[in-house]
Copies of this chain bind each other. A is one copy, B any other.
Amino acid sequence: MTEGERDRQLQVLDVDECYRLLATEQIGRLGVNAEHYPLIFPVNFALDGTTIVIRTDTGTKLSAADHANVTFEVDQIDRGTRAGWSVLVRGLAEEVTAEHRAELVERTRASGVEPWAPGEHGHWMRLIPQQISGRRIVPGRLPPAFEPAAYP
């Protein structure tokens, strides 16, 4: 372990910083309980204020997430410095349907989320955060030792 490695720090991020980082990304990972596992699905998302908006097709993601406790994880990792940050949202998901008030449907669609995966993504989901937390690994003063495995 070099001196730089020893100086590495783990910082706990405050709520504002978590939301600021969330807004810099377009892809996150939705965690839903289904099929006896805590399944993880990468999804495109956008923010409507502090609400996370996801477009999806019918299937496991949608049926398991609707009205359930879900999580949403976003991270950014730098192999070179072996540093990065991650944010985890715990919240409640619900599908936005025609039964919701028109203003909410409109705001949800206006969030601009656009799926990268081809196919139908006709369903809209809102994830209302109940808790958000994040952490950041800050590299030490010295660059980390060169490690061949880190540069495949």
Contact B71 A38 (CB under 8 A): yes
- Chain B: minimal CB distance from A122 (Å): 15
> Which of A48-56, A74-82, A97-105 touches B?
A74-82
- Chain B: minimal CB distance from A18 (Å): 14
Q: Does A96 contact B (CB under 8 A)?
A: no
Contact B152 A39 (CB under 8 A): no
Q: Chain B residues with Cβ under 8 A from A35's Cβ?
A: 90
Q: Does A125 contact B (CB under 8 A)?
A: no
Partner of A86, one of B8, B26, B31, B42: B42
Q: For the complex, what is the distance from the CA of A149 to the CA of B75, rounded to whole Å?
A: 18
- Chain B: minimal CB distance from A117 (Å): 5
Q: Is the interface of A mostly helix, strand, loop or mixed?
A: strand
- Chain B: minimal CB distance from A143 (Å): 14
A88-117 Cβ-contact flags toward B at 8 Å (1 or 0) = 101000000000000000000000101011
Q: Does A132 contact B (CB under 8 A)?
A: no
Q: Chain B residues with Cβ under 8 A from A22's Cβ?
A: none
Listed A/B pairs (14) with beta-carbon separation below 8 Å: A5-B118, A10-B117, A10-B118, A26-B79, A26-B149, A31-B39, A31-B40, A32-B38, A37-B69, A42-B77, A83-B116, A84-B116, A114-B147, A118-B137
